[in-house]
Amino acid sequence: MELSVQDREYMCSGHVGCPGCGAAIAMRFVLKALGEKTMMIVPACCWSIIAGPYPQSTLKVPVLHTAFETGGAVASGVRAALDIKGDRETTVVTWAGDGGTFDIGFQALSGAVERNEDFIYVCYDNEAYMNTGVQRSSSTPYGAWTTTTPGQEWKKLRKKNIVEALVAHRIPYAATASIAFPEDLVRKVKKAKAVKGSRFLHIYASCPTGWRMPSELAVKIARMAVQTNIFPLYEVENGVRYTINYMPKGYLVREYFKLQGRFKHLSEADLEQIQQMVNEDWELLLRKAGVSPGAAGPVTKID
Amino acid sequence: MTHAFVSQVSTPFIPRSTTTTESNKTGSWRFLQPRYDEKTAPCSAACPAGEDIARVEMLVAQGLFKEAWETILQENPFPGVCGRVCFHPCESVCNRGAFDEPIAIHTLERFVADTAMRYGLQPQRMALPPKSERCAVVGAGPSGLAAAYFLARLGYGCDVFEARSEPGGLLRWGIPPYRLPVPVLQWELEHLQALGVNIRCNHKITGGFLHGLKDRYAAVFLGCGHYKSPALGIAGEDLSGVEEGLPFLERVRSGDLPSLSGTVAVIGGGNTAVDVSRCALRLGAKVLMVYRRRRQDMPAFGHEIQMAVDEGVELMELWAPLSIEAHPDGFRLSLQKMEVVSEEGGRARVKPVPGETTAIVVQKIFKALGNTAEEPWLEPPGEIAPHILHLADTVVSRREDGLVVVYGGDLAARSKSVAHAIGSGKEAAMALDLYFRRGWDAIVEETARCRVGPGPSLSMEIYTGGDRCRRNPHVVAFEEINTDYFLYGPRIIQPRLLVEERLQGFSEIDLKVSAALAIREAERCFNCGVCNQCDNCRLYCPDVAVCRDTSPQGRHINLDYCKGCGVCVVECPRNAMSLVENETGGRP
């Protein structure tokens, strides 16, 4: 696969991410697209660990480890400090997990983007609090097992649609991306870098450990999430202009679910209900993008 | 007394990292390990000549036509011939067939050979040191020429004895020009001769020849083919005007084009019968092909039968000839209706339908039945003995005086085709080299080591320890291809002369394809089991543990850091990697 990104690596070997870590792959791609002049703000998340214990750092760009709830606020401050120094070249990036974005850091994020602070907020989403031991977050999808939604108490609430929440702030750029679609991901990061104001990237980053699946499927499962419409690839400019980047080929969601241990308790009826939910979300997205369902290829239904 | 806590080092305002994570050798976490592991493509295993097709298509897709041609020449001296006349069993097992349509391997082989011919390319050859043993080859057909080619490449001097005036055997005399123009054969023969193969034409070999050989040759390869037609065993088959098929094709090839008219009956269902029918059609006749079984039972290649039908040959299935009588308008051919009794391995067994006969009046009759060896001494020995080896496409016999006689080509191959004849010649060359260098007992085991996949096709590349000799014999299945990396795309359509144009003469039917179309077709290839440097393994590695280097592989896995997650193996589109148990026991 030819990618128009630099060959140079901004991430070192020896980081302590689990084998097959999707968040590590996501970081590699994003830094290749952003380049050297980048400052990373990392609130508490898996990456607080992955980056290495003090005095190590696995990234070749400055990283500021901060408190869980402060991703948006710290980025605002760093941006202001750089502005005072006259550095308009460096891109400020908050790199947060789903817990630090959807739940604990949401207030600071909402505040920062409401002020249209000039930074990129990347949420790498592994759909639960993974480094503390797989506790559910508001990003955990309907149907999933976590240690706080165990056994028959699996999560029976929908995943929060974080991109739509950000779009509601009318920020200049919001997009979803996946580690299984590096070209699309890199293009979106570069596009975000060129925009001024608040930019939000929601990157799907699989977690073999927390999802109870073989590590070698980390990228495949991310691809299937897109192919099944569970995680559609799209971007929204100025809160209104929707573009869908990938049209599905009619894969059923059960193909995605059956590969992961966190979903193994689901019955056929549950899967059917999830398929309906996914179809519903997809049709809603199509309407927002102004695409008629017929033109968008098959929307899958369980027989 | 108070002891205030005092830090040993001065604490900065914010603690700052001073080093990277590279001191963490995360390779120690690993219990499985990825490795580059090129495998065998199904097309390659199905090719009787064992061509490394997946690699050839990769090179074509990269525009490296000369390298693609040389890759074919590793296994087959006749890509121009085979790109025209081979029955391409490779395509029916192509993994791409389970996705959309198989790769047009046949068309691409011809494209590669034609490109080399157009530019007059000379292949780069590995020169092996000359050997003292000299070999004789009887018959300059595809098997004999292939044996001479591979023996010459292994360093042996070869004399080829050919009864006819020109070399080529069935390629020159049995295949009509609309399938194989002579200049193509001629060009590939020139390359063979450039290797030092000495072809002596007009040199018919008799049974006595084998006796005085020991002084001059260490071995002899018999590849004189099957030229003798068996009798039909019916009344009237020896009437003047009832002709044999192969001599007729030979006449057509030599430029003697008799004008035919009226109806011609061709008895038989093999490739010779089909070619006789199509030649007769071109010479002005209306042609009836009479066959005792059904169309699907004919030994002729299906696509050749289809082309014959397209051109106007009429098939009479399930009719067996009863007798031939002279008739004022030519011959009266009586026929017996047959019916299918049972099927054995897909081929029908037939018996006559009592009382149902018919008779047709035709102007000419050709007999084109399966052929046999011309002389009894050309038949390979059937017995099992320590001094006789029955290999896949040859029989190797060691005489008491030490001379080794190899029976090959149609005399011994499992199937009668040009590709099998080439495979037979290769097997003979390998067996002889093993005998001379390693001894009689090494032949069976060592040829088995050179199989492509499960065999029985053999690879000279593996035998001579070439770049691809370490490929895994595992044949890649469709399920092992990561099809997410491929897009649907239509197969190239082989351009052909229109039927009306074909019937006006003996011009080649299949036309050339452009380089642009050939590249596009080759790009469809999955390259099963062959690394085409797509770099996915490096791209997706979460641990930055795949590093570029200057080796032929272009990259290696840094086992100091590889955690063995296996993402690279799953994301390899073409199964050129494997996840195996740790070779180093985890801790590097």
The yes-or-no verdict on residue B504 having pLDDT over 60 is yes
Task: Give the residue on B whose Cα is nearest the Cα of A16.
Answer: B26
Q: State in Å, rounded, how far the first CA of chain B is from the last one.
A: 53
Could you give the CA distance from residue B357 to residue B319 in angstroms, rounded to a whole number? Answer: 9
Could you say which of B330, B349, B367 is where a domain stops?
A: B367
pLDDT of residue A296: 52
**pLDDT digit string (tens) for B401-423?**
888 999 999 888 888 899 999 99
Q: With a cut of 90, say whether residue B520 has pLDDT above it.
A: yes
Write out pLDDT tens, residues B421-458: 999 999 999 999 999 999 999 999 999 999 999 989 99
- Interior angle at CA B415, CA B409 and CA B418, nearest 5: 55
**pLDDT computed for residue A303 by the predictor:** 35
3-state helix, strand, coil in chain B (%, to 5): 35, 20, 45
* Chain A contact residues (CB < 8 Å to B): 1, 3, 9, 11-22, 24-25, 28, 51-52, 54-58, 60, 63, 179, 182, 208, 214-220, 223
- Is the ipTM reported for this complex over the cut 0.90? yes
CA distance A168 to chain B (A): 33
Which of B143, B138, B142, B141 has the alpha carbon at shortest distance from B159? B138
Segments of chain A assigned E as strands: 38-43, 63-66, 91-96, 119-125, 173-178, 198-204, 234-237, 241-244
Residues of chain A contacting residue B26, judged by C-beta atoms under 8 Å apart? 13-16
State residue A91 phi and psi, 5-degree precision.
Answer: -90, 130
Residue B255 maps to a domain: yes
Work out the minimum CA distance from A296 to partner chain B, whole angstroms. 18
**Average confidence (pLDDT) over B51-58:** 97
Res B585: pLDDT: 47
Residues of chain B contacting residue A11, judged by C-beta atoms under 8 Å apart:
544
Nearest CB to B566; choose among A24, A51, A215: A215
Please indicate, yes or no, if residue B3 is contained in any of the structural domains: no
Note whether residue B251 is domain-resident.
Answer: yes
State residue B3's pLDDT score.
66
Point out the residue among B18, B534, B543 whose CB comes nearest to the CB of A13: B543
Contacts of A211 in chain B (CB under 8 A): none
Pair B34, B48 in one domain = no
Residues in CB range of A268: below 8 A, 6 or more apart? none
Contact A16 B20 (CB under 8 A): no
Distance CA B131, CA B437 (A): 10
CATH of the domain at B80: 1.10.1060.10
Tens-place pLDDT, residues A103-153: 999 999 999 999 999 999 999 999 999 999 999 999 999 999 999 999 999
Chain A nearest C-alpha distance from B312 (Å): 45
Which of A216, A226, A246, A251 would you mutate first to test chain B, the one with the most B CBs within 10 A?
A216
Alpha carbon B204 to its chain centroid, in Å, reads 29
Q: Which domain holds residue B33?
A: 26-38+531-581
Q: Is the Cβ–Cβ distance between B457 and B451 less than 8 Å?
A: yes
**Record: contact B16-A22, CB cut-off 8 A:** no
- Are B252 and B320 within one domain? yes
Q: How far is B98 from chain A (nearest CA, A)?
A: 18
Q: What was the pLDDT predicted at B334? A: 94
Cα torsion B143, B145, B150, B152 to 10°: value is: 150
Write the residue in B19, B543, B570 that is nearest to A55 by C-beta.
B19
Domain shared by B160 and B252, yes or no: no
Q: Given an 8 Å threshold on Cβ–Cβ distance, is A20 in contact with B23?
A: no
CA angle A262, A264, A269 (to 5 degrees): 120
Which residue in B13, B21, B535 has the most chain A C-beta atoms within 10 A of its own C-beta, making it the best mutation to test that interface?
B21
Q: Which residues of A touch B543 (CB under 8 A)?
A: 13, 15, 17, 24
Query: Does residue A55 carry a pLDDT above 50?
Result: yes
B267/B258 Cα distance (integer angstroms) = 19
CB-count exposure of residue B401 (10 Å: 0-12, 13-18, 19+): exposed
Classify residue A180 by burial, with Cβ atoms within 10 Å: 0-12, 13-18, 19+: buried
* Kind and range of the H or E run holding B275: helix B271-282
Structural domain count, chain B: 4
Nearest-Cα distance to chain A for B279, in Å, is 50
Query: Which of B21, B536, B566 has its CB closest to that of A12?
Result: B21
Is B458 part of a structural domain of the chain? no
Q: State the first-to-last Cα distance of chain A, in angstroms, to the nearest integer.
A: 36
Does A22 contact B542 at a Cβ distance shorter than 8 Å?
Answer: yes
Inter-chain contact A15–B569, Cβ cutoff 8 Å? no
- Select from B559, B8, B562, B16 the least CA-distant residue to A56: B16
Look at A2-11, A177-186, B137-146, B287-296 and tell me which has the smallest mean pLDDT.
A2-11
CB atoms within 10 A of CB B285: 23
Chain B residues in contact with A13 (beta carbon < 8 A) = 21-22, 26, 543-545, 558, 560-561
Residue B426 lies in a domain: yes
- CB-based contact B569 A216, cutoff 8 Å: yes
User: Which pLDDT does position B587 carry in this prediction?
Assistant: 43
Asked if A56 and B542 come within 8 Å (Cβ–Cβ), the reply is: no
CATH number of residue B356's parent domain: 3.50.50.60
Residue of A66, A219, A223, A256 to mutate, testing the B interface (most B Cβ within 10 Å of its Cβ)? A219
Confidence of residue B534 (pLDDT cuts 50, 70, 90): very high
Identify the closest residue of chain B to A26 by CA–CA distance: B542
Contacts of B560 in chain A (CB under 8 A): 13
Compare B468 and B507 and report the one with higher pLDDT: B507
CA nearest B544 in A: which residue?
A: A13
pLDDT confidence bin for A2, thresholds 50/70/90 = low
Whether B128 maps to a domain, the answer reads no
Contact A20 B569 (CB under 8 A): no
Q: Do B20 and A58 touch (CB under 8 A)?
A: yes
The pLDDT-based confidence of A298 (bands split at 50, 70, 90) is very low
Domain edge (last residue) among B308, B336, B367: B367
| Beta carbons of B381 and B390 less than 8 angstroms apart | no
* Nearest-by-Cβ selection for A57 from B20, B534, B571: B20
Mark yes or no for CB contact B539/A57 under 8 Å: no
Q: Do A15 and B24 touch (CB under 8 A)?
A: yes
CATH classification code of A22-296 = 3.40.50.970
**Same structural domain for residues B324 and B262?**
yes
Q: What is the strand order of the sheet B157-161 is part of?
A: B198-200, B157-161, B134-138, B219-222, B404-407, B395-398, B388-390
Q: Between chains, do B17 and A55 touch, taking CB under 8 Å as contact?
A: yes
pLDDT, tens digit (0-9, with 9 covering 90-100), for B159-176: 999 999 999 999 999 999
Residue B565 has its nearest CB partner, among A3, A16, A19, at A19
- 8 Å CB contact between B422 and B394: no
DSSP 3-state of B195: coil
Whether A294 shows a pLDDT value over 80: the answer reads no
Residue numbers in A near B570 (CB within 8 A)? 216-217, 219-220
Task: Name chain B contacts of A248, Cβ cutoff 8 Å.
Answer: none
Neighbours of A6 (CB within 10 A): 12
Q: How many CB pairs under 8 A join A and B?
A: 115
**pLDDT tens column, B66-98:** 999 999 999 999 999 999 999 999 999 999 999
- CB-based contact A20 B566, cutoff 8 Å: yes
Q: What is the pLDDT of residue B405?
A: 93
Of A24, A179, A216, the CB nearest to B566: A216
The crossing angle, in degrees rounded to 10, of helices A71-85 and A106-114 is 40
Q: Distance (Å, rounded) from C-alpha A202 to C-alpha A177?
A: 6
Residues of B with CB under 8 A from a CB of A: 15-26, 29-30, 482, 484-485, 534-536, 539-545, 558, 560-561, 563-567, 569-571, 579
Whether the pLDDT of residue A249 is over 90: the answer is: no
Please give the torsion angle defined by the CA atoms of residues B72, B77, B80 and B82, in that order, rounded to the nearest 10 degrees.
-80
Residue B4 lies in a domain: no
Instruction: Check pLDDT > 90 for residue B121.
Output: yes
* Mean pLDDT within B196-200: 92
So what's the pLDDT on residue A3? 67
pLDDT confidence bin for B8, thresholds 50/70/90: confident
Question: Mean per-residue pLDDT for A36-47?
Answer: 97
* pLDDT higher than threshold 90 for residue B227: no
Average pLDDT for A68-96? 97
Residue A300: what pLDDT? 41
B253 and B362, same domain (yes or no): yes
Q: For residue A295, is pLDDT > 90?
A: no
Q: Are residues B266 and B202 in the same domain?
A: no
Residue numbers in B near A25 (CB within 8 A): 540-542, 567
Distance, in Å, from the CA atom of B104 to the CA atom of B110, rounded to the nearest integer, reads 10
* Same domain (yes/no): B314, B393: no
Read off the pLDDT of each residue in B472-498 and give the average, rounded to a whole number. Answer: 95
Neighbours of B124 (CB within 10 A): 9
Q: Nearest residue on chain A to B538, judged by CA atoms?
A: A1
Q: Is the pLDDT of residue B256 over 90?
A: no
Residue B456 lies in a domain: no
Residue numbers in A near B544 (CB within 8 A): 9, 11-13, 28
CB neighbour burial string for A100-136, b if at least 16 within 10 angstroms, e if fewer: bbbbbbbebbeebbeeebbbbbbbbbbbbbbbeebeb
Q: Which residues of A touch B20 (CB under 8 A)?
A: 12, 14, 52, 56-58, 60
Residue of A nearest to B486 (CA): A1
A21/B17 CB distance under 8 A: no
Q: Name the pLDDT band for B274 (thresholds 50, 70, 90).
A: very high
Residue B393 has pLDDT above 80, yes or no: yes
